[in-house]
Structure 1
């Protein structure tokens, strides 16, 4: 069972292709090239690219790219939803059961390490949480703040509390609601592994490790392109939704700064510079995660163009 309680496929996917790497490293272009060569379908493996509205700001594939190769699970979730890794894994499990994909090469591409871990290792089962319990903890987060709830979590599940930042209200609430609903801490549930979606030994696993200077320049250029392509229109749409700032979609890099531009609190030049800096810092964290968490079975490639087929 996956985190959401839905059974994984009876047989883990064999001969899948997994492409991981930091943002702006060329993953999507490589995925398209391989998909064209191998009659493939590209499946989003990035926790921000699941959200609708934020097309440019999350660097989702263009409409032209999607017309060349089938893309799945991009922009399918409202930014008003706190989407979880378990929900994504359930969507993938349902997708790969689709008869029309049985003879296709499934190519998973993205930058979210936990999504790749869910594919190759499976997720722990999680208990059902009564909506009333969930709402009560969310109300408590609004009324009392993340820090106070983190103190409560420290007494109930110190292992989880150590792993969750004091400011991460969504994860704190999730841990508290699971503990209340089940009587067992979330750290216990996380230790119960489920069935993997992908047969890791049979998969082709690639992680891109680009030169840092090259990547930093590419990140800067890409953000400029995002702005020209219409990122501010997306910012305006998000502003109209009046979403909870704690929602995952609201943490899209650059969104907060561009919202400040619209409110007259920050100049466009300063917002763009801040967003570029944060994107580079995020890419560094991604690279560190992939370097330390992915084993030697992953092929590490500095330049995606070196992979021909």
Structure 2
């Protein structure tokens, strides 16, 4: 197991896939671009919300400048009103692993990385009627039906994860933990990739979260919300984009813009805290990079030059 305080340079080899995980606003996309520019490769999205074609600004999807620098995949390719799971993502990413272009897989959704490197059980899809029933239940009720083993494996503060576990149990009669224990082999075992988790101090990250949300507002996030307002449905997975609920509430006259901004920043910081907890618990076999003090030129050793 790597030492979390290991200061040795991380070796990046052109033909080896790179995985970059970390909390929101920690600089994952910038690092992926740096590697792609230095050595080549295709940047592949592993974020659960950046897959949707709505909320480009609020989900921090790559903009035109980034897309011009390196090839990107699995960004904005799913209609905003459609469901999308780790299973969907795994099926979408599978053919990209078989192509000649080295993938640089980046995102903040731990479940996607877990599915990729440890495998994912083929759980039957949840019927619409059951999902509608689950949508009406509060978090406490959903949790009360889950077994202790399943509760120990999920973020019990993340309603989407808890509801998913409840739906699996209700639909199949088997707990999520049971399904996970019969998981098939992974598409990309961890030993076949360079896996990096960005670790950032809370105070440093809080400043970046605030600055980034203000930049989103400056770039037109409120206009983006206005464009989404006619089709707004809080039950869509894409509506979980942090800031979406708050900006929609502002447009509906339910809160001021300052109140919406403050609420969105707080929600983003809370989400980052949950992400840090997840990665510290689940990514003990990944190289940990203290991003707040990292000197990129000294942190990475690029082997064999650029990849063509």
- TM-score grouping bracket, smaller chain normalisation: 0.7 to 0.9
Over 3 Å counting, the alpha-carbon distance change for 1:90 and 1:220 in structure 2 is same
1:281 aligns with 2:270: yes
2:159 — aligned with what?
168
Q: CA deviation at 1:164?
A: 7.5
Per the TM alignment, residue 151 of structure 1 is displaced from its structure 2 partner at its CA by 8.0
Task: Give SS of 1:119's match.
Answer: helix
Which runs of 5 or more structure 2 residues have no equivalent in the other structure? 1-14, 303-308
Relative to structure 1, the CA distance from residue 181 to residue 65 in structure 2 (aligned partners, 3 Å threshold; closer, same or farther) is same
Q: Aligned to 2:273, what secondary structure does the other structure show?
A: helix
> CA offset at residue 233 of structure 1?
2.1
Per the alignment, in what secondary structure is the counterpart of residue 58 of structure 1? coil
Q: CA–CA distance in 2 between the matches of 1:203 and 1:170?
A: 26
- Point out where structure 1 has 5 or more consecutive residues left out of the alignment: 1-13
Is 1:35 the counterpart of 2:36? The answer is yes
Q: C-alpha separation between the residues in 1 aligned to 2:218 and 2:92? A: 33
Task: Choose which of 125, 130, 154 in structure 2 pairs with 1:137.
Answer: 130
The aligned counterpart of 1:125 is 122
Whether the aligned pair in 1 keeps the contact of 2:197 and 2:286 (CA below 8 Å) is no
How far residue 300 of structure 1 moved from its aligned partner, in angstroms, is 2.7
1-structure distance, mates of 2:158, 2:288: 35
SS class of match (1:42) = strand
CA–CA distance in 1 between the matches of 2:270 and 2:167?
32
The 1:23–1:297 alpha-carbon spacing in structure 2 relative to 1, beyond 3 Å, is closer
User: What is the Cα-based RMSD across aligned positions, in Å?
Assistant: 2.6
Deviates more, 1:221-230 or 1:292-301: 292-301
The count of residues paired between Structure 1 and Structure 2 equals 283
State whether residues 199 and 288 of structure 2, in contact with CA within 8 Å, keep that contact through their aligned partners in structure 1. Answer: no
8 Å contact kept, 2:54–2:238 = no
CA separation of 1:139/1:276 partners in 2, compared to 1, >3 Å: closer, same or farther?
Answer: closer
CA distance in 1, matches of 2:248, 2:104: 34
The answer (yes or no) to whether the contact 1:253–1:278 under 8 Å persists in 2 is yes
2:142 to 128, 143, 150: 150
1:145, CA displacement in angstroms?
3.4
**Partner Cα separation in structure 1 for residue 140 and residue 129 of structure 2:** 15
Secondary structure of the 1:260 match is: helix
* SS across alignment from 1:37: helix
| Separation of aligned partners in 1, 2:276 and 2:142 | 28
Distance 1:118 1:67 in 2: 30
Q: Which structure would you say has the larger RCO, counting Cα contacts within 8 Å and 6 or more residues apart?
A: 2
Q: Over residues 234-261 of structure 1, what are the superposed CA-to-partner deviations in whole Å (9 max), with x where a residue is unaligned?
A: 2123221132x23322121111111111
Structure 1 residues 124 and 136: alpha-carbon distance in aligned structure 2, compared to 1, 3 A threshold = same
SS in 2 for 1:257: helix
Residues 190 and 57 (structure 1), Cα distance of their counterparts in 2 relative to 1, 3 Å cut: same
Q: Does 1:270 align with 2:267?
A: no
- Measured against aligned partners, the alpha-carbon deviations of 1:49-82 in whole angstroms (never above 9, x if no partner) come to 1111111001111111011100100111122122
Q: Equivalent residue of 1:23, what SS?
A: coil
Gap change, CA 1:275 and 1:179, over 3 Å in 2? closer
Map of 2:241 onto structure 1: 252
Give the structure 2 partner of residue 21 of structure 1.
Answer: 22
